[in-house]
Amino acid sequence: EARKEFNKLVKRLEKIVEQCESRIESLEKQVAQTEEMMLTPEGSSNLALLQIHGKVKKELCECMEEWEKSTIELEELRSKGE
Using an 8 Å Cβ cutoff, are 82 and 29 in contact?
Answer: no
- pLDDT tens-place string over residues 1-46: 888 999 999 999 999 999 999 999 999 999 999 999 999 999 989 9
Determine the Cα–Cα distance for residues 44 and 61; give it in Å rounded to an integer: 23
Determine the Cα–Cα distance for residues 61 and 67; give it in Å rounded to an integer: 10
For residue 25, the 8-state DSSP code is: H
**Residue 81 has what pLDDT?**
77
Helix (H) or strand (E) run with residue 78 in it: helix 47-81
Using an 8 Å Cβ cutoff, are 77 and 12 in contact?
Answer: no
